[in-house]
């Protein structure tokens, strides 16, 4: 309320004896209020300003040409010390004397060749000097992935598909100069191409605003078809580009700067964050998003040829030998280079047929994943060289001469003038600049006075920094200071990384997807995620090749060993992606599911997180697993009417939750209930947790009990996802570690409850846990019949605990998921709803409705099996140990088995024809599972007037996944990232409740 007090004071004393002081206070208040806002405004509304332009124009809305491609470089430093060209030494002599490599010296921080491949991509994003006029920068001055997208509309259009999906042609990029660099640079561009297409496809799948449609669904006869496809393609493409550039920027400030500042070896997740709003002490906004223009001084700075690895040096030698046959390196001139470039460009094929590194494109235009991955793995293994004098390979002599000559034509400042501009101490002697007496003496003989040392040479031959905390790149001192300034200018000056970096422009999912997660492996690596997304299966989720690609594996083994985290990672080279076969046809699917030469392939995963015997749901011991499964199913149904009792429990629990969780809004005659979030998500959990595992659910964190409903649900979805679903590889390592913690905690609670119930022997450590559990959970209501029966049949404490845990995991969240899908499926079928309302508990059609809904709209696409022998299944030839994905969803649409497969028909004969997978049916059996689902369905639809909530609130917010894996649908969680689990669907019912009850 300070502002109100100030205004009141001003109004009361405006004409009093404090008039002058009041006027001064009023002036300060006006300045404060004026400075609340940006002047001029930070951005404008509309697509002209929402998306990046191809040439970088309009980044600064007040000066649209600032940073635009094909404009001159800027000059940052005024030259005051005369350094006439006719007084400077021959550029070739300078290279031979000060820069030419004498021997390869490994980089002291263990940086890999991949580090400088990524650096090359960053550098070529903002620097592209014209061969016709060296004062012109042919690309924009922004981190906009210009090597991928091009620096003008013409180049951009060549790589776009334009089919309404916003896609790029597979594995293409716009910058031909990178074809002359080691192939790892081009592989990075291919990964960003694939990332763009992944993003574009995901944007269309999610369709956040509901304005896009599958282009194939637009009628060919629609006169506006071309315009609709063009407009949609432009929106999706531009949005995907914003997100992809955000990925690039995030990679720079995570992986790249982590290695530059030595954070990777310290295990630090910290990074510079130049993007946010900053206010000075006087409340004024510190400038951001006002544009940037790259300068010639920084062009001189980013010539890091000295770091070239031995492998890349050999690659360049082969390239130069091909481009300049029968010519010695020392005889090549700048004109030779220009002529060669023109010749190479003239011989270039269509952009969609460019190749590099002796790779060949497939018929689909893509390169082989395994070959791209091999290039990255090699680059990660190859150590980079150190910075400093006499470190640049001889093969790059011409490159360096051209750089020196450009430096002179630009008339840039001297090294000392540049240092003074940055606020650094100027050098007083050559020996202070480089403590190597021989290097210092040669430089002095070439330049005479330290003030004459030109910027280009001075930067490249400056003594390298030692390896200390805060240093990882270890170039010369001047470079290490200047690159930080340049990075901040490039990114903080970019409107699309600041004022226009919003969830609206990028979509909520895109904004979340491009964020760095500091808790992910590799200290929050973005490049690791990019590699896993672009090359699925070629890198493992715990490999340093994945998460620390800018460091050599051997260096990371030392660094992580010192940090005590080496056990988390694997340091060996990842193998090629395993070949997974897919069984899709009905007969093939039945043969794989029922064949003795196949088994569920989840045992290896389970063994990584679950210790001890038992857990029949996922075990490599087939005989024990089947025996435990049979025993569990037997004790669950000890009498003929036990299944009916269990199903009735679900019926009553569903009704009670709908009534207790419903609420009213404007119309008191209508009740609303979030059937997914508050009811169906938890109905199976109550039974498995409280009735089978003996857990106590509590209302909130401060209440008495073991877990809250959301806590336990999240724990079990984590476990289920890890064991049975295809999860994002980038999240797999963290998920596994989380699952280990969940299972240990659940085992402790279950074991304590089991022993308290049936009386058993326990270790001292387990006894402590049991006593604690007994005191914390007071007294148990009743005996746990399942555990008691398992004990009675000779099961150990460990086996009983794990098999109860198996029930808890297998019979809860998948059952919830299935029921939510079934309710959603029938809500839009009023005839079925009326039949469900009229059905009593014994109606046989109820279970048929379950079978049909699960067949037509299953919650998951399929399951995995492992082939136990070399064998043939239909058209599939399988090897022993090979994984097979069993596509239940596709097979269940076979019209020969299910005539009119998309139609609900409750009179289909022989229920055995229906296909079931793992999880709930394996835990409870098909018959009990179906009974439970049917009674929950009856409980939901017996409420009078039950229907979807208004607008989008009543929809199940899911989208279909294109990838052929276990997931058919994904949902967006509260963090706007994909999840396999539904979170909301609001229904409305009449109030007061009118419920039709049948006995």
Residue numbers annotated as active site:
124
Backbone angles phi, psi at 832, to 5 degrees: -70, -40
With beta carbons less than 8 A apart as the criterion, state whether 999 and 840 touch.
yes
With beta carbons less than 8 A apart as the criterion, state whether 199 and 243 touch.
yes
The response to whether 305 counts as a known ligand-binding position is: yes
CA atoms within 13 A on the CB side of 365: 16
With beta carbons less than 8 A apart as the criterion, state whether 292 and 298 touch.
no
With beta carbons less than 8 A apart as the criterion, state whether 288 and 499 touch.
yes
- 856: which 2 tokens? 């037509």
Distance between CA atoms of residues 122 and 126, nearest Å: 7
- 708: which 2 tokens? 């809250």
What lies within 8 Å, CB to CB, of 242 at 6+ separation is 51, 52, 496, 505, 506, 510
With beta carbons less than 8 A apart as the criterion, state whether 723 and 602 touch.
yes
Nearest partner of 491 among 285, 252, 147, 268, judged by Cα: 252
Backbone angles phi, psi at 183, to 5 degrees: -60, -20
With beta carbons less than 8 A apart as the criterion, state whether 378 and 311 touch.
yes
Backbone angles phi, psi at 393, to 5 degrees: -55, 145
Distance between CA atoms of residues 746 and 757, nearest Å: 16
What lies within 8 Å, CB to CB, of 749 at 6+ separation is 693, 694, 695, 706, 773
With beta carbons less than 8 A apart as the criterion, state whether 738 and 716 touch.
no
Nearest partner of 337 among 184, 162, 131, judged by Cα: 131
Distance between CA atoms of residues 634 and 628, nearest Å: 10
Distance between CA atoms of residues 863 and 356, nearest Å: 38
Packing angle of the helix pair 797-810, 785-792 (nearest 10 deg)? 140
Nearest partner of 563 among 267, 861, 809, judged by Cα: 267
Q: How far is CA 916 from CA 607, 615, 928, 967, in A?
A: 24, 20, 13, 15
Distance between CA atoms of residues 969 and 441, nearest Å: 69
Enter the DSSP assignment of 287.
P
Task: Write down the residue that tokens 């630009």 correspond to.
Answer: 410
Distance between CA atoms of residues 941 and 352, nearest Å: 55
With beta carbons less than 8 A apart as the criterion, state whether 260 and 474 touch.
no
With beta carbons less than 8 A apart as the criterion, state whether 490 and 126 touch.
yes
Backbone angles phi, psi at 610, to 5 degrees: -120, 120
Q: Kind and range of the H or E element at 885?
A: strand 883-887
Task: Write down the residue that tokens 């206070």 correspond to.
Answer: 25
Residue 517, helix vs strand vs coil: coil
- DSSP letters of 357-381? TT----TTSPPPHHHHHHHHHHHHH
- 609: which 2 tokens? 């997180």
First to last CA, the chain: 64
CA dihedral 918, 924, 927, 930 (to 10 degrees): -80
Handedness of CA 861, 864, 870, 871 (dihedral sign): negative
Task: Write down the residue that tokens 């089991």 correspond to.
Answer: 754
Distance between CA atoms of residues 878 and 866, nearest Å: 10
Binding residues for heme b: 305
The annotated binding site is made up of 305
């Amino acid at each position: 309320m300070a502002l109100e007090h100030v205004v009141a004071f001003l109004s009361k004393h405006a004409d009093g004896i404090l008039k002058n002081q009041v006027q001064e206070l009023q002036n300060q208040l006006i300045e404060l209020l004026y400075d609340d806002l940006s002047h001029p405004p930070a951005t404008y509304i509309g697509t002209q300003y929402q998306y990046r332009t191809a040439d970088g124009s309009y980044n600064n809305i007040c000066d649209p040409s600032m940073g635009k491609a094909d404009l001159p470089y800027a000059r940052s430093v005024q030259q005051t010390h005369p350094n006439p060209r006719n007084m400077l030494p021959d550029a070739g002599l300078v290279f031979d004397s000060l820069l030419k490599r004498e021997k390869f010296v490994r980089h002291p921080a263990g940086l890999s060749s991949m580090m400088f491949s990524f650096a090359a991509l960053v550098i070529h994003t903002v620097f592209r000097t014209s061969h016709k006029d060296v004062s012109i920068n042919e690309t924009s001055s922004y981190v906009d992935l210009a090597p991928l997208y091009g620096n003008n509309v013409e180049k951009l259009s060549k790589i776009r598909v334009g089919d309404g999906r916003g896609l790029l042609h597979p594995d293409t990029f716009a910058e031909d100069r990178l074809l002359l660099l080691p192939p790892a640079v081009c592989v990075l561009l291919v990964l960003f191409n694939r990332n763009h297409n992944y993003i574009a496809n995901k944007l269309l799948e999610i369709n956040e605003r509901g304005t896009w449609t599958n282009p194939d669904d637009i009628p060919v006869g629609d006169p506006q078809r071309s315009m609709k496809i063009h407009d949609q393609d432009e929106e999706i493409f531009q949005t995907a580009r914003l997100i992809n550039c955000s990925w690039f920027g995030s990679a720079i400030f995570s992986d790249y700067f982590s290695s530059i500042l030595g954070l990777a070896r310290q295990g630090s997740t910290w990074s510079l964050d130049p993007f946010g709003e900053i206010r000075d002490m006087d409340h004024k906004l510190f400038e951001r998003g006002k544009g940037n223009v790259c300068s010639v001084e920084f062009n001189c700075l980013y010539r890091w040829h000295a770091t070239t690895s031995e492998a890349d040096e050999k690659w360049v030698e082969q390239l130069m030998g091909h481009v300049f046959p029968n010519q010695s390196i020392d005889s090549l001139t700048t004109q030779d280079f220009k002529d060669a470039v023109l010749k190479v460009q003239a011989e270039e094929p269509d952009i969609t047929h460019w190749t590099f590194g002796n790779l060949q494109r497939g018929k689909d235009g893509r390169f082989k994943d395994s070959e791209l991955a091999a290039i990255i793995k090699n680059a990660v293994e190859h150590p980079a060289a150190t910075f400093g004098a006499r470190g640049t390979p001889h093969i790059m002599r011409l490159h360096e001469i051209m750089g020196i000559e450009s430096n002179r034509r630009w008339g840039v400042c001297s090294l000392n003038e540049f240092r003074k501009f940055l606020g650094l101490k100027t050098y007083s002697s050559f020996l202070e600049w480089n403590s190597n007496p021989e290097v210092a003496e040669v430089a002095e003989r070439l330049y005479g006075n330290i003030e004459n040392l030109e910027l280009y040479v001075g930067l490249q031959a400056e003594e390298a920094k030692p390896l200390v905390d805060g240093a990882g790149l270890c170039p010369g001192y001047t470079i290490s200071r200047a690159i930080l300034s340049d990075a901040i200018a490039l990114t903080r000056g970019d409107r699309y990384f600041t004022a226009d970096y919003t969830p609206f422009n990028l979509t909520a999912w895109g904004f979340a997807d491009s964020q760095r997660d500091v808790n992910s492996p590799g200290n929050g690596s973005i490049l690791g995620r990019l590699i896993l997304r672009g090359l699925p299966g070629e890198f493992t989720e715990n490999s340093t090749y994945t998460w620390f690609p800018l460091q050599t594996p051997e260096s990371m083994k030392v660094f992580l060993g010192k940090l005590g985290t080496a056990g988390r990672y694997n340091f060996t080279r990842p193998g090629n992606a395993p070949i997974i076969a897919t069984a899709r046809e009905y007969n093939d699917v039945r043969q794989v599911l029922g064949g003795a030469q196949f088994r569920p392939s989840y045992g290896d995963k389970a063994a990584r997180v679950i210790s001890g015997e038992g857990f029949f749901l996922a075990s490599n011991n087939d005989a024990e697993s089947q025996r435990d499964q049979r025993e569990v199913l037997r004790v669950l149904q000890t009498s003929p009417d036990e299944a009916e009792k269990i199903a009735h429990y679900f019926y009553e629990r569903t009704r009670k939750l709908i009534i207790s969780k419903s609420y009213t809004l404007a119309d008191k005659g209508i009740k609303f209930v979030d059937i997914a979030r508050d009811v169906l998500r938890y109905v199976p959990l109550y039974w498995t947790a409280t009735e089978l595992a003996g857990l106590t659910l509590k209302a909130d964190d401060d209440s008495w009990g073991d877990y809250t409903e959301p806590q336990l649900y999240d724990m079990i979805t984590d476990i289920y996802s890890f064991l049975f679903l295809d999860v994002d590889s980038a999240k797999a390592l963290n998920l596994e570690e989380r699952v280990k913690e969940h299972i240990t905690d659940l085992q402790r609670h279950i074991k304590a409850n089991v022993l308290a119930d049936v009386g058993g022997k326990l270790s001292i450590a387990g006894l402590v846990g049991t006593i604690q559990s007994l005191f914390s959970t007071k007294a148990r209501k009743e005996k746990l019949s399942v555990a008691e029966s398992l004990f009675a049949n000779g099961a150990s404490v460990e086996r009983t605990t794990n098999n109860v845990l198996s029930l808890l995991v297998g019979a809860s969240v998948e059952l919830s998921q299935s029921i939510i899908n079934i309710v959603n499926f029938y809500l839009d079928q009023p005839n079925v709803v009326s039949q469900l309302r009229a059905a009593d508990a014994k109606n046989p059609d109820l279970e048929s409705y379950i079978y049909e809904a699960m067949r037509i709209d299953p919650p998951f696409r399929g399951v995995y099996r492992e082939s136990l022998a070399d064998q043939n299944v239909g058209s599939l030839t399988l090897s022993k140990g090979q994984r097979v994905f069993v596509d239940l969803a596709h097979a269940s649409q076979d019209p020969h088995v299910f005539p009119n497969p998309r139609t609900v028909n409750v009179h289909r004969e022989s229920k055995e024809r229906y296909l079931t997978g793992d999880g709930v049916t394996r835990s409870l059996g098909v018959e009990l599972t179906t009974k439970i689902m049917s009674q929950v369905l009856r409980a939901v639809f017996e409420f009078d007037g039950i229907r979807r909530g208004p607008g989008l609130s009543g929809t199940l917010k899911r989208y279909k996944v294109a990838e052929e894996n276990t997931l058919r649908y994904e949902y967006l969680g509260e963090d706007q990232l994909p999840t396999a689990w539904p979170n909301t669907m609001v229904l409305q019912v009449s109030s007061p409740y009118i419920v039709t009850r049948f006995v």
